[in-house]
Structure formats: structure tokens, C-alpha cells
């Protein structure tokens, strides 16, 4: 399935009907599109599964359709989160078809063919990652894209240069590809063309994104977290109705902060940004673009190192504590999130 969770297919989707599957959330993690990293983070999978289930159930209360069917308990039964006695790392979901674009090299550049996506296609994943931004914390990709000239202030609706840590008066909606070798930011007009969306469907996509943002913001607030940004994925059901899929509202899909301190996968990203491997990775991605090579990992001169053991434990506790406080149920034996944040600050102080 991917670098952090596996998929068990119980019934394959057909052209006209959705299938059934189960996400098996692992303790693996990934940063910078690398894939599986050299460590495992204890209880991360069950914590992610718990957060995602909670957010799906809150969205369903608002009438938003999702592919979520429930969590698999110790007895193999599919139950709602309120009926769960112990943490689960297995989520049952409806499945749709995934159509990957074909990739070709033209004039030294990789070009993707999305012609299969038309307004008549049903029961399929929409090949986009759809992003909301409520703030611009340090580490936000917006600053890197502005510096590289890949996006303009006007594109983002700004009349001045934003500053790290800034809270936006209204959310920015952003979009990138989902099924290419490396996620690529695109304009909304290009996204509409790629996915074969009608004008009305594009409006509906943004409406669902706003409701997801608001729901995740409220869920994060249960743990004292600020919802800085995050992503959702969508699909069309067998009637071409919009449906939230994959998982959302977790520390992997969102960038949360606690009084300005990152509480998300960004903690691991910041650690790796200080390594020589990150420099090699950035160079490899640049070579991929200039040389038209799809496998950029083969160009990377080094492999990622392991996390510092102290930091790995802190990250594990972050996942567990947020799951406890977001849901209001003590699924995991972990300190209060405020205590975990104090430990993280002390760790960072040791490194300065």
C-alpha cells in the first residue's frame, strides 16, 4: 500500500461497485517522499488509526461521505471508536479503483498522461492531494516555493511577503499531484484538468476541504493543538459522488503546533534537515528535474541515518498522547501532551 500502512483487499472494486479493504497501520514512517525510514516508532500505527477514525466519525456527523467503515477490535469485529476497548491499528474501508497516469519523457522532461480521467469516470480515486493552510509555521513548503519562484504571492492571495509563524485570516487552499513519483504542486486550473473535474465538482471539492479543515481544527483543539495545515484525499463513488478517503486529521497528514512547537511528522523532518543525507536528497531531486529521470532515489548519494533514540521515544509519546487527548479516551499509556512537549524542549536544548 505505502510506506506507512499496508492494504488488505477483502473484495476488489469493480467498474461499478466499491470493494472492501482494511488499512493495517504500521509503526513505519516516511519523510520527504523517501519511503520507509530506518526506524520504527512504537505505537505510531495504532495512534494514527485512532486519530483518523475519530475525525472520520466527526465528519460523518456533518453528513460528509467517507470510505470509513469502522475499526477492527480484538475479536475481529468492526466497531465504532466509542465501542473500542483497546487500541486498534486496523481500519476497514470501502475501496475504489486507482488509475495511475502513464509517464513519458518529452524534451528531457517527465510528462504524465491523465487522459483516462474524464467527467464520466466513476468509482475511482481523484489523483490529487488537496491541502488547506490555516497558518504558515516555520518549515512550511510555502516559503521554499516562494524562494524558488515556483509560486507567487498573487497565486497565494498575498499582497506582501508572509512571515514564519503567521496565522492566516482565512485558509489558503492548495493542491498537488498524488500518483506521480514525487508530489508536484499544480494550479487549481491544472488540477481540474488532471482530474477531469467539472466546475461544479471543483466547487464541491473546496467545500469538503473547508469542512474537513474545520472538523480537524476542532479535534486538534481537544489536545490543545493548533491546526496549521493538512491534506485530504477524495474519490468518486459508484455514482460519482464525492467521498473522503485514505486517512485524515493525524500527525502524518497534518501539521499541528502546541504553543508554537511542532507536534507532527515535522519533528522528524526537522531532525533530518540537519543531516548530510537531506542535502544529498535535495540534490538528487534537482537532478531528476534537469535530467528527466524518474527514479530520483537512485541519484541520492547516501542513505538516511536513524533517529536519535531519545527523540524517537518523544515522537512515539507525541502520537500516543495526541490520540488520547483528541478522542478523550485513554487508549495509550503515555504522559500528558504538555509533559511530552516539555521533554522535547529539553531535548532540543541539549542539542543547541
Q: Report the 10 Å Cβ neighbour count for 274.
A: 10
What integer is the mean pLDDT of 117-138?
95
CA distance 342 to 96: 43
CATH assignment at residue 181: 3.30.470.20
**Residue 80: domain span:** 5-351
pLDDT band at 286 (very low <50, low <70, confident <90, very high): confident
CA distance 125 to 93: 13
Range of weakest confidence among 181-190, 205-214, 305-314: 181-190
What integer is the mean pLDDT of 110-120?
93
pLDDT at 94 > cutoff 60:
yes
SS3 142: helix
Of the two residues 201 and 285, the one the predictor is more confident about is 201
Per-residue confidence (pLDDT) for residue 350, from 0 to 100: 61
CA distances from 317 to 33, 223, 294, 324 (A): 24, 13, 37, 10
Percent of the chain surpassing pLDDT 90: 74
228's CB contacts (< 8 A; 6+ apart) are: 133, 134, 135, 136, 137, 140, 254, 255, 256, 257
Per-residue confidence (pLDDT) for residue 297, from 0 to 100: 86
pLDDT at 95 > cutoff 90:
yes
**Size (the chain), residues:** 352
Per-residue confidence (pLDDT) for residue 130, from 0 to 100: 97
Range of weakest confidence among 3-7, 194-198, 302-306: 3-7
Of the two residues 297 and 127, the one the predictor is more confident about is 127
pLDDT at 293 > cutoff 80:
no
Q: Which residues pair with residue 24 across a beta bridge? A: 6, 90
Backbone angles phi, psi at 65, to 5 degrees: -75, 140
What integer is the mean pLDDT of 199-203?
97
How are beta strands 226-236 and 128-136 bridged, if at all? Answer: antiparallel
Range of weakest confidence among 56-60, 148-152, 170-174, 334-338: 148-152
Contact 334, 320 (CB under 8 A): yes
Contact 86, 72 (CB under 8 A): no
pLDDT at 188 > cutoff 90:
yes
pLDDT band at 352 (very low <50, low <70, confident <90, very high): very low
pLDDT at 1 > cutoff 70:
no
pLDDT band at 25 (very low <50, low <70, confident <90, very high): very high
Domain count, the chain: 1
CA distances from 141 to 85, 229, 246 (A): 39, 11, 22
Distance separating the N- and C-terminal Cα atoms of the chain: 38
pLDDT band at 298 (very low <50, low <70, confident <90, very high): confident
Contact 210, 170 (CB under 8 A): no
Residue with cell 460519482: 240
What integer is the mean pLDDT of 281-308?
86
Backbone angles phi, psi at 166, to 5 degrees: -75, 140
Amino acid at each position: 500500500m505505502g510506506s506507512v500502512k499496508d492494504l488488505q483487499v477483502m473484495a476488489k472494486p469493480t467498474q461499478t461497485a466499491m470493494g472492501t479493504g482494511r488499512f493495517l497501520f504500521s509503526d513505519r514512517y516516511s519523510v520527504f517522499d523517501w519511503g520507509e525510514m530506518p526506524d520504527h516508532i512504537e505505537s505510531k500505527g495504532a495512534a494514527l488509526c485512532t486519530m483518523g477514525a475519530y475525525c472520520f466519525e466527526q465528519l460523518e456527523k456533518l453528513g460528509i461521505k467517507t470510505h470509513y467503515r469502522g475499526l477492527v477490535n480484538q475479536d475481529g469485529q468492526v466497531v465504532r471508536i466509542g465501542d473500542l476497548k483497546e487500541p486498534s491499528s486496523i481500519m476497514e474501508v470501502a475501496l475504489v479503483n486507482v488509475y495511475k497516469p502513464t509517464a513519458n519523457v518529452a524534451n528531457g522532461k517527465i510528462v504524465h498522461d491523465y487522459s483516462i480521467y474524464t467527467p464520466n469516470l466513476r468509482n475511482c480515486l481523484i489523483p490529487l492531494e488537496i491541502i488547506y493552510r490555516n497558518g504558515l509555521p516555520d518549515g512550511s513548503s510555502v516559503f521554499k516555493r516562494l524562494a524558488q519562484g515556483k509560486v507567487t504571492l498573487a497565486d497565494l492571495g498575498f499582497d506582501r511577503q508572509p512571515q514564519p509563524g503567521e496565522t492566516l485570516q482565512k485558509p489558503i487552499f492548495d493542491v498537488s499531484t498524488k500518483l506521480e513519483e514525487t508530489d508536484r504542486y499544480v494550479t487549481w486550473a491544472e488540477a481540474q484538468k488532471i482530474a477531469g473535474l467539472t466546475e461544479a465538482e471543483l466547487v464541491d471539492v473546496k467545500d469538503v476541504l473547508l469542512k474537513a479543515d474545520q472538523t480537524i481544527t476542532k479535534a486538534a483543539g481537544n489536545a490543545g493543538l493548533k491546526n496549521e495545515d493538512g491534506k485530504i484525499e477524495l474519490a468518486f463513488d459508484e455514482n460519482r459522488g464525492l467521498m473522503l478517503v485514505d486517512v485524515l486529521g493525524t500527525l502524518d497528514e497534518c501539521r499541528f503546533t502546541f504553543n508554537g512547537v511542532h507536534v507532527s511528522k515535522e519533528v522528524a523532518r526537522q531532525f533530518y534537515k540537519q543531516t548530510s543525507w537531506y542535502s544529498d536528497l535535495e540534490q538528487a531531486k534537482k537532478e531528476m528535474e534537469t535530467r528527466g529521470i524518474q527514479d530520483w532515489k537512485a541519484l541520492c548519494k547516501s542513505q538516511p541515518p536513524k533517529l536519535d533514540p531519545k527523540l524517537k521515544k518523544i515522537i512515539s509519546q507525541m502520537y500516543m498522547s495526541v490520540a488520547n487527548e483528541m478522542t478523550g479516551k485513554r487508549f495509550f499509556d503515555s504522559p500528558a501532551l504538555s509533559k511530552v512537549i516539555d521533554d522535547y524542549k529539553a531535548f532540543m536544548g541539549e542539542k543547541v
